[in-house]
């Protein structure tokens, strides 16, 4: 079973979206969430702390979600850490690019708690 | 993103970014004069060709003049300097207002969640203890209410989608503004163009990658389509 106390990093430049994702995670029983408003800040947090799951937007200033994903996958510490992309980019080429970069799963906005749970089950196991 | 710089500054920016791609009207006139002069010298005695060329050049000159007048009449510089930036500002205001309103809705939802937890704790610690059947009924009702709160949070997705759609429209407006500015510069409708400082130039050029908006209904892929692709690739 999934440890509901796992460390989750939610990355999105939109405060609204961070709040939505964190609230939905809370509703699903997760208790240990942290947030970053762009890829650069996320990367700094990933270096200074340890996270078990990353949920990131694609379009962000400074460092995009796809760049963050590539950085994470190239890193020895996070090479195999589950990474879910949450984005409005629903184009086939975007999905393929994300898969090639090593994304664990992909959620297109707008989404609901059921979709988030389904994806979480796929990447971290049932709960 | 709001442009808080003057028309002159934006024209200067455009000239810098488009350097070598535009020919100001004055240059066109100079070019026409030199062509005229050149053919005037070389075609003495070949009256047929030079008069045809003069006629074509005359037509071209008339076209430029007439386009310039039309642009002055529609006040192209006002469109670029006032109307388009104003439209962009209105769209920025929409983004801010929806962001504030969504923030308030979510604050209230958080409060409702806190009330639910508070009510549950009070009921469980009531002395004398409350009938377990009643407690279960209340707990079910509170859970249903919490589910509704979750649905409100889910619905707040609209704000992020709205912002991205607005950014797409802003991008289109900025492109129109750029094209109008080009015409203003090419036809020399303003003078005394100033230079931009580095900070302003940077402000105008950053975040371009962020301006791609979300897909419209029926365009792009739905979650089911994405799942089908993922099923093949992952």
Tell whether B223 is within 8 A of chain A (Cβ).
yes
DSSP letter for each residue of A88-123: S---HHHHHHHHHHT-SEEEESS--HHHHHHHHHHH
Tell which residue, A87, A54, A110, A107, has the closest CA to residue B225.
Answer: A107
What domain range is B80 assigned to?
7-233
CB contact under 8 A, B222 and A92: no
Alpha-carbon gap, residue B57 to B36, rounded angstroms: 8
Does the residue B1 lie in any domain?
no
- Over residues B7-56, the pLDDT tens digits come to 666 666 666 665 555 566 666 677 667 766 666 655 555 556 667 777 77
Residue in the block written with tokens 């079973």: A1
Contacts of A96 in chain B (CB under 8 A): 229, 233
- Within 8 A of A91 by CB-CB distance, chain B residues are 215, 220-221
Given pLDDT bands bounded at 50, 70 and 90, which one contains residue B73?
confident
Q: How many residues in chain B?
A: 234
Tell me the mean pLDDT in the region B208-229.
64
Cβ–Cβ < 8 Å for A105, A122: yes
Mean pLDDT of chain B: 75
- State residue B234's pLDDT score: 75
pLDDT at A119: 95
Query: Using CA atoms, how far apart are residues B232 and B234, in angstroms rounded to an integer?
Result: 6
**Rounded CA gap, B58 and B73, in Å?**
22
Q: Which residue has the higher pLDDT, A55 or B171?
A: A55
Question: What's the CATH superfamily of A8-120?
Answer: Response regulator (3.40.50.2300)
Residues B83-131 pLDDT 10s = 888 888 889 899 899 999 999 999 999 999 899 989 989 998 998 989 9
Hey, where are the domains in chain A? Answer: 8-120
Joined together, the tokens standing for residue A61 give 């200033």
Q: Does B164 contact chain A (CB < 8 Å)?
A: yes
Whole-Å CA distances, A91 to A94, B156, B207, B223: 5, 23, 21, 11
Closest partner residue to A90 (CB to CB) among B102, B154, B220 is B220
Lowest mean pLDDT among A47-51, A69-73, B45-49, B176-180: B45-49
| pLDDT tier at B195, thresholds 50, 70, 90 | very low
Backbone angles phi, psi at B148, to 5 degrees: -65, -40
Residue B73 belongs to a domain: yes
3-state secondary structure (DSSP) of residue B114:
helix
The string of pLDDT tens digits covering residues A68-117 is 999 999 999 999 999 999 988 788 899 999 999 999 999 998 899 999 99
Task: Determine the pLDDT at residue A110.
Answer: 87
pLDDT band for B66, please (50, 70, 90 cuts).
confident
Q: What is the pLDDT of residue B192?
A: 40
Cβ–Cβ gap A112/B146 under 8 Å: no
CA A105 – CA A44 distance, rounded (Å): 23
pLDDT band at B189 (very low <50, low <70, confident <90, very high): low
The pLDDT value recorded for residue B1 is: 43
Q: How confident is the model at residue B201 (pLDDT cuts 50, 70, 90)?
A: very low
Q: Give the one of B154, B213, B220 whose C-beta lies nearest to A113's C-beta.
A: B154
Count of domains for chain B: 1
CA distance A15 to chain B (A): 9
What ipTM does this complex have? 0.77
* CB atoms B99 and A64 under 8 Å: no
Report the Cα A23 to chain-centroid distance in Å: 14
Q: Of B24, B30, B106, B36, whose CA–CA distance to B68 is shortest? A: B24
Q: Is residue B15 part of a domain?
A: yes
H/E element holding B140?
helix B132-155
Contact criterion met (CB below 8 Å) for A59 and B210 = yes
**Lowest-confidence range among A5-9, A91-95, B69-73, B163-167?**
B69-73
- Which A residues, 26 through 65, put their C-beta within 8 Å of a C-beta on chain B? 27, 59-61, 64
Contact A92 B214 (CB under 8 A): no
Give which of A59, A60, A100, A101 to mutate to test B binding, by max B Cβ within 10 Å: A59
Cβ contact A111–B215 (<8 Å): no
Separation of alpha carbons A66 and A59, rounded Å: 8
Would you state the pLDDT for residue B173?
A: 87
CB contact under 8 A, B221 and A60: no
Find the CB nearest B214 among A95, A104, A109.
Answer: A109
Q: Answer positive or negative: Cα dihedral of A40, A24, B230, A81.
A: positive
Residue A50 has pLDDT above 50, yes or no: yes
Has residue B192 been placed in a domain?
yes
- How far is residue A21's CA from residue B156's CA, in Å, rounded to a whole number? 11
Q: Is a pLDDT exceeding 50 seen at residue B3?
A: no
> Which of A16, A24, A104 is closest, CB to CB, to B160?
A16
CB pair distance less than 8 Å for B215 and A99: no
B55 in a structural domain: yes
């Amino acid at each position: 079973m999934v440890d509901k106390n796992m460390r989750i990093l939610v990355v999105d430049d939109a405060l609204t979206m961070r709040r939505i994702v964190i609230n939905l995670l809370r509703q699903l029983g997760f208790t240990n969430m942290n947030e970053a408003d762009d890829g650069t800040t996320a990367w700094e947090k990933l270096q200074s702390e340890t996270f078990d799951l990353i949920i990131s937007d694609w379009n962000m200033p400074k460092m995009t979600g796809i760049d963050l994903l590539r950085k994470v996958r190239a890193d020895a510490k996070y090479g195999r850490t589950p990474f879910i992309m949450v984005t409005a980019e629903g184009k086939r080429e975007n999905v393929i690019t994300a898969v090639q970069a090593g994304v664990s799963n992909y959620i297109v906005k707008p989404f609901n708690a059921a979709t988030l749970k389904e994806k979480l089950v796929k990447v971290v196991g049932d709960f | 993103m709001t442009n808080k710089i003057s028309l002159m500054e934006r024209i200067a920016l455009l000239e810098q970014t488009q350097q070598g791609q535009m020919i100001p009207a004055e240059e066109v006139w100079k070019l026409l004069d030199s062509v005229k002069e050149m053919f005037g010298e070389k075609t003495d005695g070949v009256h047929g060709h030079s008069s045809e060329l003069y006629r074509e050049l005359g037509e071209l000159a008339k076209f430029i003049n007439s386009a310039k007048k039309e642009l002055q009449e529609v006040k192209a510089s006002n469109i670029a300097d006032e109307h388009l930036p104003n439209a962009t500002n209105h769209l920025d205001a929409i983004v801010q207002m929806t962001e504030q309103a969504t923030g308030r809705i979510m604050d209230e939802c958080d409060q409702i969640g806190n009330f639910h937890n508070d009510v549950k704790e009070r009921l469980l610690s009531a002395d004398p203890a409350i009938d377990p059947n009643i407690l279960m009924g209340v707990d079910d009702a509170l859970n249903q209410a919490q589910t509704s709160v979750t649905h409100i949070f889910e619905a707040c997705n609209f704000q992020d989608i709205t912002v991205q759609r607005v950014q797409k429209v802003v991008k289109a407006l900025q492109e129109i503004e750029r094209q109008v500015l080009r015409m203003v510069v090419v036809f020399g409708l303003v003078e005394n163009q100033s230079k931009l400082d580095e900070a302003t130039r940077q402000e105008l050029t950053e975040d371009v990658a962020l301006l791609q908006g979300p897909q419209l209904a029926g365009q792009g892929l739905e979650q089911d389509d994405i799942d089908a692709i993922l099923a093949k690739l992952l």
